[in-house]
Amino acid sequence: MENRKKQIIDLAIKLVQQKGYVGFSYDDISKQLGVTKASIHYHFEKKEDLGVAITERIAKSFLQNFLLIKKDASVSVEEKLKKFIQVQAERFACTEICPISSLQTDFNSLPDVVQKKIEEVSRLELSIMKDLIAEAQTKGILNDTDDIHSVAVTILSSIKGALLYRRVLGDDILTGVISQINLILRKS
Amino acid sequence: MENRKKQIIDLAIKLVQQKGYVGFSYDDISKQLGVTKASIHYHFEKKEDLGVAITERIAKSFLQNFLLIKKDASVSVEEKLKKFIQVQAERFACTEICPISSLQTDFNSLPDVVQKKIEEVSRLELSIMKDLIAEAQTKGILNDTDDIHSVAVTILSSIKGALLYRRVLGDDILTGVISQINLILRKS
DNA sequence: GTCTATATCAAGATAGAC
DNA sequence: GTCTATCTTGATATAGAC
């Protein structure tokens, strides 16, 4: 069944967030799903294939998330931006980091195809953040001195970095970053 | 010779930056140093021991770096802060990330002793950043609405996150973050 | 589609010679 | 302090039965 395939991918993403691409194994997956390693290999012959599936799912759910917020006409553009940032920051459990960050860290150990996928997803993430900021920018939410690229990369980078620190030092880090981001967006 | 020991630690840190703690092996080290694996095991019986040595060296060089800047009476506190941030961001090659970030990502796979060390180093890093900002704060470099903790964690997180993106997308990311940090610090 | 069994390989680690 | 040799374990991967 194709449901098992989905189940494997979902679990694999969790494992990437917890242990990294290099750190997780087919054994981890098979044990948690109560099947054998060979069974996982049936669905994804090589780890590389699973790696590609992982990145594709990440991109897909990221994009869905964005479109959902983007199309919602009931909230202002400022609210959309803040909501998107909130969701990005809070969709993970306290000891989980962003799967994209995890794969960026393991970048040099990834198979070529997965490297290319990660590059794509990273670009996608950045362009989506820029799109939201550009829309809010027309409403004068930013300083004239701020430029869209700098603000976008800083918001993304600081959230991702904060998730790394949070894993080790606890929740204070992320809340500090969120409140600072809100300051950046508030003054105009 | 104790020089070999130092050589191993230095190389191990580079490898952590490039491939992560889980991803690098005694084989990598031995090959690059032109000795056997057994020889590396003589200096660091277990990988765990090397892990501890790595984190201790990271903390030491970080602290030295800080004290060097801190004690320098020839520059203003604002300049000290900016210089420290600059150094943090630019001490690595373009495809290398911060070794602390790398170890934070692999946190769940680290031996207990190394986990504790990483926690220490992370705290140290944060407290040093706060110290510098607090000193600059007295000079009115920050808004009243900014608080030291938020600014400190945002600066650190955004630099670390930017290094992850830079590895994949190139230098634009880091320069964008640096210029945005300077904006945060400039308005008062 | 899932299983058992097994091949292959790399990694961490140890024993003992030089 | 470095070597050769070897052990153990865990991981990716494949073959073939059910």
Domains, chain A, in order of start with CATH, read: 2-186 (1.10.357.10)
- What predicted TM-score, i.e. pTM, was given to this entire model? 0.97
Res. A188: pLDDT tops 80: no
- Judged by a CB distance cut-off of 8 A, whether residue A176 touches chain B is yes
Q: How confident is the model at residue B37 (pLDDT cuts 50, 70, 90)?
A: very high
Give the burial class of A145: count Cβ atoms within 10 A of its Cβ; 0-12 exposed, 13-18 middle, 19 or more buried: exposed
Residue A2 has pLDDT above 50, yes or no: yes
In DSSP notation, A103-116 reads HHHTGGGS-HHHHH
Q: What is the DSSP string of A27-55?
A: HHHHHHHTS-HHHHHHHSSSHHHHHHHHH
Specify whether the CB–CB gap between A148 and A136 falls below 8 A.
no
Q: Does B170 touch chain A (CB under 8 A)?
A: no
Contact state of A162 with B151 under an 8 Å Cβ cutoff: no
pLDDT-derived band of residue B139, with 50, 70 and 90 as boundaries?
Answer: confident
DSSP A154: H
Is residue A148 over pLDDT 50?
yes
Most confident among B61-70, B74-83, B156-165 (mean pLDDT): B156-165
Rounded CA gap, A46 and A54, in Å? 13
Percent of chain A at pLDDT exceeding 70: 98
Q: Give the closest nucleotide to A34 (alpha carbon vs C1').
A: C2
Alpha carbon distance A137, B66 (integer Å): 38
**What is the pLDDT of chain A when averaged over all its residues?**
95
pLDDT of amino acid A141: 82
List strand residue ranges (DSSP E) for A28-180, in order. Answer: none
* Residues A158, A151: Cα–Cα separation, whole Å: 10
Separation in Å, CA B88 to CA A101, A156, B129, B145? 19, 19, 11, 26
Minimum-distance residue to D6 (CA–C1'): B38
Q: Do A105 and B97 touch (CB under 8 A)?
A: yes
Taking residues A49-62, report their average pLDDT: 97
**CB-contacted nucleotides of strand D (7 Å):** 1-5, 10-16
